[in-house]
């Protein structure tokens, strides 16, 4: 269970860096100029985190594979994206609430 929490924190931190990090200001602006879809995607933590979850599921570790052993392999990637999105939403909601 602790591995899943750490994985969610890593996904949230990566998403936060992509969405709000100053190092990505230039690329975000250039992408937003060329595509509304991808510009909106890179300015929303809820939109970015599932894709980070998909990527980390494929490259690093799949938390859903440790929860659901006998399911279809491809479904793990989708479930991990949803776990990432939900976890990022919870963390972001808590931080937003504490800032008020």
Q: Quote the pLDDT of residue 71.
A: 61
CB 28 within 8 A of CB 42: yes
pLDDT along the chain (100 residues), means of 10: 94 96 94 94 95 94 79 80 96 95
Q: Quote the pLDDT of residue 10.
A: 97
Residue of 90, 61, 100 lying closest to 77 (CA atoms): 61
CA separation for the pair 81, 75 (Å, rounded): 10
pTM of the full structure: 0.89
Distance of CA 74 to the CA centre of its chain: 18
Q: Quote the pLDDT of residue 1.
A: 84
Q: Quote the pLDDT of residue 72.
A: 60
3-state secondary structure 49-64: HHHHHHHHHHHCCCHH
Element (H, E) at 17: helix 2-20
Q: Quote the pLDDT of residue 67.
A: 77
Q: Quote the pLDDT of residue 68.
A: 73
């Amino acid at each position: 269970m602790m591995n899943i929490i750490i994985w969610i924190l890593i996904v949230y931190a990566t998403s936060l860096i992509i969405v709000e990090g100053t190092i990505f200001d230039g690329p975000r602006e250039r992408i937003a100029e060329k595509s509304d879809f991808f510009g909106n995607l890179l300015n929303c933590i809820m939109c970015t985190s599932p894709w980070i979850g998909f990527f980390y599921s494929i490259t690093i570790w799949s938390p859903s594979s440790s929860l659901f052993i006998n399911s279809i392999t491809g479904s793990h990637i989708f479930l991990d994206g949803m776990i990432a999105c939900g976890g990022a939403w919870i963390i972001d909601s808590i931080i937003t609430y504490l800032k008020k």
